Amino acid sequence: MNLLYAEALALVDGVIDGFDESGTCEIILAPPSLYIHGILGRIQKCPQISLASQNCSEHAKGAFTGELSAAMLASVGAEYVLIGHSERRALYKETDSQIAGKISRAVENSLLPIFCCGETLEQRNAGLHKSTVESQLKNGLFHLNEKIIRDCIIAYEPVWAIGTGVNATSAQAQEMHAFIRQLIREKYSDQVAQEIPVLYGGSVNSNNATELFGCEDVDGGLVGGASLKAKEFNQIIASMNAFLKHNLVKN
């Protein structure tokens, strides 16, 4: 909840101005929901850029003043929706049950969920980081069948590294991403585990992006504060494009 409408449009224009048409990475912008329709017209010439809502209601419709349904968001051009972000869990006390409901409403309306999971500093220090993430996945996302979950994105965001300037080491990120992929493998299949993108979110910036994206099981980033500056965000995008190009040549 940062930019006014004109500022948000200027930011999008800045991202587009620095857009590398030869790049192959997918870019998803998640502005405040009331800006989605206005931004849609600006990105139509950039097929690699899509729009996401930052949240949706767990209810399909009804007397829920102030809420936005998945159907409403899809109707104004959103293709994705963030669900279970750590700020929603912490500040608004969203439960796994509510999050599971939001996931269901999203897929019912052809919105692709970006499911967020991650542990607090207290949980990590207590050695509960893996069990915490496992519980969040099993209770909030794993009710989906194999066909539907293939279209989802998972974002691992260690809460202690969000907006703090402290990011998990590449080894810590890789460990948790590999663990998440193993849980998917056990629930569904090896193929599904390999196909689902698992993003890292937690003070991603242009300085650490290359190292993070180089981890075997890190498929991209859920970028917070660094995405509010077009130049910084474009440098992160460039890091991902460079990584993808290197691996394409290598393979």
Q: Which residues are catalytic?
A: 85, 157
Give the other-Cβ count within 10 Å of 113's Cβ: 29
Kindly give, in sequence order, each residue whose CB lies less than 8 Å from that of residue 93, ignoring residues fewer than 6 positions away: none
CB 61 within 8 A of CB 69: yes
The token pair at 84 is 């279970």
Query: What angle (nearest 5°) sits at the alpha carbon of residue 44, between those of residues 40 and 46?
Result: 120
CA dist 60 → 57, 67, 98 (Å): 7, 10, 13
CB 67 within 8 A of CB 94: no
Q: How would you class 171 by CB atoms within 10 Å of its CB: exposed for 0-12, middle for 13-18, buried for 19 or more?
A: exposed
- Residue environment code for 37-72, b if the CB has 16+ CB neighbours within 10 A, otherwise e: eebeeebeeeebbbbbbbbbbbeeeeeeeeebbbbb
Look up residue 202 and give its DSSP letter: S
Identify the bridge partners of residue 49 per DSSP, sorted by sequence position.
27
